[in-house]
Chains A and B, each alone.
Chain A
Amino acid sequence: MMTYIIYIAFALMALGMIMSAIRFVKGPTAADRVVALDTLTTISVSALVLLAYVFQRFIYVDVALVYAVLGFIGVIVIARYLEGAL
């Protein structure tokens, strides 16, 4: 039963990643691309935590935490650059 629930969750997250990647490729302005990148980062963090449960490796949660920190700093830096303050 748990296996099917994890399959459904991975399928929904994969569809979401595909749609965010489409917006990342064809977004009209730079801000659209950064928003899509932010969403991709959040979905990837969730996928990493779910993969940590699937493989029973606790260290993958640390990987997800570091990836969340790096994505947050990246979005802040790109936003400051677009604003012209960097």
Chain B
Amino acid sequence: MSIMEIIASILIIVGSIFLFLGALGIYRMPDVYNRLQAGTKATTLGAMSLILGIGFLEPSWMLKSLVLIIFIAYSNPISSHALARATYRRGNYPVILSDDKDMDAYQEVVPHEKEKEEKV
């Protein structure tokens, strides 16, 4: 094994482990916001690492791999932000367990509705 293959295999294994952990978070987390947190950050890092590993494995594919990495790095946070905003504005508010009721600072921008019916 050359040195490039060793770097590439470490990157591929780390990337697939992070993809698996992101999907595990999607399956196990209790809330929409927790699922967004787990399913977007971990998956972004996993996909970027795995595609970079493929770029090390085939050096002539490195340019298009970098294009794909840059696209994932800016598109995944945008989509997760749009989803969290849509969920909040739909009336599905995060559950706050502490006594500090001002922790949900976004309610100054979007006031909570009085009666909260469950929208599916």
B40/A12 in contact, CB under 8 A: no
Shortest distance from the beta carbon of B40 to any chain A beta carbon, whole Å: 7
Q: Do B68 and A49 touch across chains, with their CB atoms under 8 A apart?
A: yes
B20, B32, B79 interface centre (most CB from chain A within 10 Å): B79
A interface SS class:
helix
Contact assessment for B82 and A46 in the assembled complex, using a CB-CB cutoff below 8 Å = no
Please tell me if the beta carbons of B50 and A72 are within 8 angstroms of each other in the complex: no
Q: Does B83 lie within 8 Å of A79, measured CB to CB?
A: yes
Contact A45–B47 (Cβ < 8 Å): yes
Whether A53 and B9, one on each chain, are in contact in the complex, defined by CB atoms closer than 8 angstroms, is no
A71 to B62, CA, bound (A): 23
Question: CA of A72 to CA of B32 in the docked complex: distance in angstroms?
Answer: 19
Q: How far is the CA of A28 from the CA of B87 in the complex (A)?
A: 13
B13 contacts the other chain (Cβ, under 8 Å)?
yes
In-complex Cβ contact of B79 among A1, A10, A31, A79 (8 A): A79
Q: Which residues of A pack against B, CB within 8 Å?
A: 1-2, 5-6, 8-10, 12-13, 15-17, 19-20, 22-23, 28-32, 34-36, 38-39, 42-43, 45-46, 49-50, 52-53, 58, 61-62, 64-65, 68-69, 72, 75-76, 79-80, 82-84
A selection of 10 A-B contacts at a CB cut-off of 8 Å is: A8-B16, A15-B20, A19-B23, A42-B19, A46-B50, A46-B51, A61-B65, A68-B72, A69-B71, A83-B85
CB-based closest 10 A-B pairs: A16-B23, A9-B16, A79-B82, A19-B27, A83-B86, A12-B16, A72-B75, A75-B79, A12-B20, A79-B86
